[in-house]
């Protein structure tokens, strides 16, 4: 087989770069925020869809930026055991990735302008901070992921900001209910990152990428994952006991068997392909948990 014949097609290459198996982490918080808006009779289909589009675009931009910056910083090498990265494989040039990142951010900004027209200028501040975070995870002079702050950034932006922001653009206000629901979603979103960092702990350490998993060590990273996942279920007690919602908000408990299997896998496995499966499984858990939470909130 010639090199040209073995080379993946353009669509396959860009799909690889976008990393669709990670995208449920953007869908989940919008589902939860929109369900709470619906329960409060403030749901708006247009703002909800725009929030979803904006969240997906920002994550795609972040995924592309990580592919670019991790390669340039030497974190992605032939020793990588995670899913393939297009820069590391030589499938896309740095210039093409930069153009793609810019294009995705322009599209996200267009969505943001619509949301500003609906919900006002606070959306501008949130949007700008989200763009900075998307690029600063692995890019810029002080990349968050290289200094152990990636976990906190994911919790804030894929949990607190995404759930509360989705609610805000539909209602024009904030609510304790949305804030309470954002915690479990943020913890599970962070758990996705932790699987990634535990898997890459050796290559990250060699490249000087001081993720929290590198700082804590493999066992510490595994324990962090277990705490994040179990913490998400524990926080379901807040809307039930403190905010007086019905026991239906505990519906995500149905996903516990999947959560237990994933915790066991992360605690015991070191093989890259197995942990890649755990990463995809944690993204699936995040979405299923969030859908169940949304349904439970409406019952």
Q: What is the pLDDT of residues 175-190, one digit of tens each?
A: 999 999 999 999 999 9
The CB density around residue 126, as the number of other CB atoms within 10 Å, is 20
244: exposed, middle or buried (Cβ count in 10 Å: 0-12, 13-18, 19+): exposed
Please tell me the predicted confidence (pLDDT) of residue 6. 62
Per-residue three-class SS string for 47-76: HHHHHHHHHHHHHHHHHHHHHHHHHHCCCC
Residue linked to tokens 């090199």: 3
The pTM (predicted TM-score) of the whole model is 0.94
Nearest residue to 207 via CA among 102, 299, 57, 70? 70
* Mean residue pLDDT across the chain: 93
Please tell me the predicted confidence (pLDDT) of residue 253. 97
Spell out the residues 6+ positions from residue 281 whose beta carbon is closer than 8 angstroms to its own.
258, 261, 262, 265
Q: Are 76 and 82 in contact (CB under 8 A)?
A: no
- Report the C-alpha dihedral over residues 59, 61, 62, 65, rounded to 10 degrees: 160
Please tell me the predicted confidence (pLDDT) of residue 81. 73
What does the pLDDT look like over 234-270, one tens digit per residue? 999 999 988 888 899 999 999 999 999 999 999 999 8
**Is residue 250 classed as helix, strand or coil in its secondary structure?**
helix
Please tell me the predicted confidence (pLDDT) of residue 271. 87
What does the pLDDT look like over 187-234, one tens digit per residue? 999 999 999 999 999 989 988 999 999 999 999 999 999 999 999 999
Is it the case that residue 32 has pLDDT exceeding 60?
A: yes
Calpha distance 201→183 (Å, rounded)? 26
What does the pLDDT look like over 101-140, one tens digit per residue? 999 999 999 999 999 999 999 999 999 999 999 999 988 8
Calpha distance 86→7 (Å, rounded)? 11
Calpha distance 65→138 (Å, rounded)? 7
Spell out the residues 6+ positions from residue 48 whose beta carbon is closer than 8 angstroms to its own.
30, 34, 37, 166, 169, 170
Spell out the residues 6+ positions from residue 270 whose beta carbon is closer than 8 angstroms to its own.
none
Percent of the chain with pLDDT over 70: 98
13: exposed, middle or buried (Cβ count in 10 Å: 0-12, 13-18, 19+): middle
Is it the case that residue 1 has pLDDT exceeding 60?
A: no
**What integer is the mean pLDDT of 271-283?**
92
Please tell me the predicted confidence (pLDDT) of residue 256. 97
What does the pLDDT look like over 38-84, one tens digit per residue? 999 999 999 999 999 999 999 999 999 999 998 888 777 776 777 77
Q: Helices 212-234 and 272-298, interaxial angle, to 10°?
A: 30
């Amino acid at each position: 087989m010639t090199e040209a014949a073995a080379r993946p097609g353009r669509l396959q290459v860009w799909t690889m770069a976008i990393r669709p198996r990670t995208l449920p982490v953007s869908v989940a918080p919008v589902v939860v925020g929109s369900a709470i808006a619906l329960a409060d009779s403030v749901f708006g289909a247009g703002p909800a869809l725009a929030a979803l589009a904006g969240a997906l675009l920002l994550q795609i931009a972040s995924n592309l930026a990580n592919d670019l910056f991790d390669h340039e910083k030497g974190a992605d090498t032939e020793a990588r055991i995670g899913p393939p990265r297009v820069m590391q494989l030589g499938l896309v040039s740095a210039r093409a990735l930069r153009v793609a990142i810019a294009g995705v951010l322009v599209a996200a900004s267009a969505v943001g302008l619509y949301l500003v027209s609906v919900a006002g200028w606070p959306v501008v501040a949130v949007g700008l901070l989200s763009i900075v975070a998307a690029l600063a995870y692995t890019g810029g002079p002080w990349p968050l992921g290289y200094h152990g702050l990636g976990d906190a950034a994911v919790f804030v932006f894929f949990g607190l900001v995404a759930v509360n922001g989705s609610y805000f653009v539909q209602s024009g206000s904030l609510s304790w209910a949305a804030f309470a629901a954002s915690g479990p979603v943020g913890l599970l979103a962070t758990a996705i990152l932790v699987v990634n960092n535990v898997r890459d702990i050796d290559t990250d350490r060699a490249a000087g990428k001081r993720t929290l998993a590198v700082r804590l060590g493999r066992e510490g990273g595994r324990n962090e994952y277990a705490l994040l996942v179990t913490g998400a279920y524990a926080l379901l007690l807040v809307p039930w006991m403190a905010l007086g919602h019905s026991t239906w908000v505990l519906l995500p408990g149905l996903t516990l068997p999947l959560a237990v299997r994933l915790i066991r896998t992360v605690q015991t496995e070191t093989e890259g392909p197995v942990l890649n499966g755990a990463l995809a499984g944690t993204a699936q858990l995040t979405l299923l948990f969030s859908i169940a939470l949304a349904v439970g909130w409406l019952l």
